[in-house]
Amino acid sequence: MFRKPLHYEKLKFFYVQNFFFGLSGFVTPVIMVYFLLIGFDYFQNSILFAVWVGSQFLFEIPTGAIADIYGRKLSVFLSYLFCGILAILLAASSSFYILLVLVFLMGGASTLSSGAEMAWMVDHAKKNGFDKDMQKIFSNIQSYTAIGGFIAFGISTYLIYLDVTYVWYLTGIFFIILSFYTLVCGPEGFERKKEITVFSSFRKTYDISKDAISYIKSNMVLLWIFLGTLIAGINSGVGGYAIQPYLLSLGMPAYLFGLLMMFFAFAMIFTPQFSGKLLKLLKTEKNVLVFNMVLSMLLYTSFYFTGSLIVAICLFLVFGSLSGLFLPIIMTYVHRNIPSDIRATTGSVESMLGSLGVVFGLPLGGWILQTLGFGLAFVCGIMLAAVNLCFYLKINDGNKGSKQN
């Protein structure tokens, strides 16, 4: 863990980039409750996030295709730069309608990197012949992000205690710094297509997007995973959305979210390193997905039955710290099933489906919390996780296990 990670010399930029990306996450501990903390109610909070994620849905495929056409580096640079500027403006705003505009723009800006960032790293690694090491690379990348996050969340704890708006200001500053690091240091063997016009770029966007969607429909592994992403998005807006407000309702001070996220980040430094052992234990990626959904159902069931702040915090810590075991396996599994020429766009399709789910889920979740209470939100979380479980059980890829293509 404390040695240089795998293929560090060739992938140094991506390790450093992800460390600074984690270090830019000062707002992460209170992202789901920030608008509650500055005076909005559950439903208004959910509408602001629905607009944010709805913007991601609208822009995912076009911006993913732009990355495939014009290059990942430019797309990621613009994403970080715009997000940094918008974060600073958001911190300075308290009007509901101004915030609606800012979060809409923030969502669109974030899509410039959502599909491109991972596709850039994967293609660069494969170009250097590291195909068989992707799961380990994903694990190391995740650990570096977590180290940065651990530092940021510690600082956030103090900032939230002073004034919660400070986390947005610092997030914005660090994203702007990260954007110029990406522009100056990021590698990319990409040749600009000088003959492309505005019309032809939109046509190319349409063609690449159509190819990506057709490929997903023909690949049953991706189809069930992506449908699961849609349902998981809905669930994050209902059951997932309820968790942090529930902790606040039990009397937890907002600044403690920084300490909780520090714990998650610390766990995330190490847990990805054990993802290979988890896959070996469960034998196939399908079993990993199924196990992940079973844990989600247990989490929501546990929250439904507890009314103790201490117990709720312990549940939050235990279940949240396990996510690092699953992500490297799932990311490797998904990208192994996607051709390089449509990788960024296909990744954007997955993000788009997740965004669509959240757009439907958040207003529903906000309304449930505002009118019916936390208990029903957690019951919905259990039911939606069960639907996801059914999708994953339908996956049949010939029991490939951990074999790399």
pLDDT for 9-29, tens place per residue? 777 888 888 899 888 889 888
**Over the stretch 267-318, which tens digit does the pLDDT of each residue have?**
877 887 788 888 888 888 888 889 989 999 999 999 999 889 999 999 888 8
DSSP H or E stretch at residue 20: helix 8-23
Q: How many CB atoms lie within 10 A of CB 394?
A: 12
Domain 11-187+197-393, CATH class in plain words? mainly alpha
pLDDT of residue 111: 81
Closest CA to 137 of 401, 349, 128, 223: 128
Pick from 102-111, 133-142, 164-173: least confident: 133-142
> If you average pLDDT over residues 48-57, what whole number do you get?
86
Of the candidates 27, 344, 276, the residue with the CA atom closest to the CA atom of residue 140: 276
Segment 147-193, tens digit of pLDDT: 888 899 899 999 998 999 999 999 999 999 999 998 888 887 655 55
Nearest CA-CA partner of 143 in 275, 271, 306: 271
Q: Looking at residues 198-210, what average pLDDT do you find?
A: 63
- The candidate with the shortest Cα–Cα distance to 110, out of 332, 343, 351, is 351
Q: What are φ and ψ of residue 56, in 5° steps? A: -60, -40
Please give the pLDDT value at position 208: 67
User: Band of the pLDDT at 85, cuts 50, 70, 90?
Assistant: very high
Between 339 and 274, residue with greater pLDDT: 274
- Residue 59 pLDDT: 79
Q: For 60-84, give the DSSP string.
A: HHHHHHHHHHH-HHHHHHHHHHHHH
Amino acid at 227: L
Shortest CA distance to 81 belongs to which of 187, 186, 177?
177
Buried/exposed 21-55: b ≥16 CB within 10 Å, e otherwise: bbbbbbbbbbbbbbbbeeebebbbbbbbbbbbbbb
Across residues 328-338, what is the average pLDDT? Answer: 78
Q: How confident is the model at residue 313, as a pLDDT?
A: 92
Cα-Cα-Cα-Cα torsion 253, 255, 260, 264, nearest 10 degrees, comes to 150
Kindly state the tokens that stand for 149. 């996050």
Strand residues in 70-155 grouped as ranges (E):
none
Q: Which of 13-22, 145-154, 208-217, 377-386 has the lowest mean pLDDT?
A: 208-217
Number of H helices, E strands in the chain: 18, 0
8 A C-beta contact, residue 338 and residue 226: no
Would you give the distance in Å from CA 314 to the centre of its chain? 23
Query: Does 7 have pLDDT greater than 90?
Result: no
Strand locations in 228-270 (E) = none
Lowest mean pLDDT among 33-42, 107-116, 190-199: 190-199
- The pLDDT, as a whole number, for residue 405 is 38
Q: How much is the average pLDDT of 123-143?
A: 76
User: Dihedral of CA 213/218/222/228: which sign?
Assistant: positive
Read off the pLDDT band of 226 (50, 70, 90).
Answer: confident
Query: For the chain, percent helix, then strand, then coil, each to nearest 5?
Result: 80, 0, 20
- 232: tokens are 């998981």
- State the chain's mean pLDDT as an integer: 83
Residue 402 has a pLDDT of 43
The pLDDT of residue 297: 93
Portion of the chain with pLDDT greater than 90, in percent:
28
Predicted confidence band of residue 134 (pLDDT cuts 50, 70, 90):
confident
For residue 301, what pLDDT is reported? 94
The whole-model pTM stands at 0.72
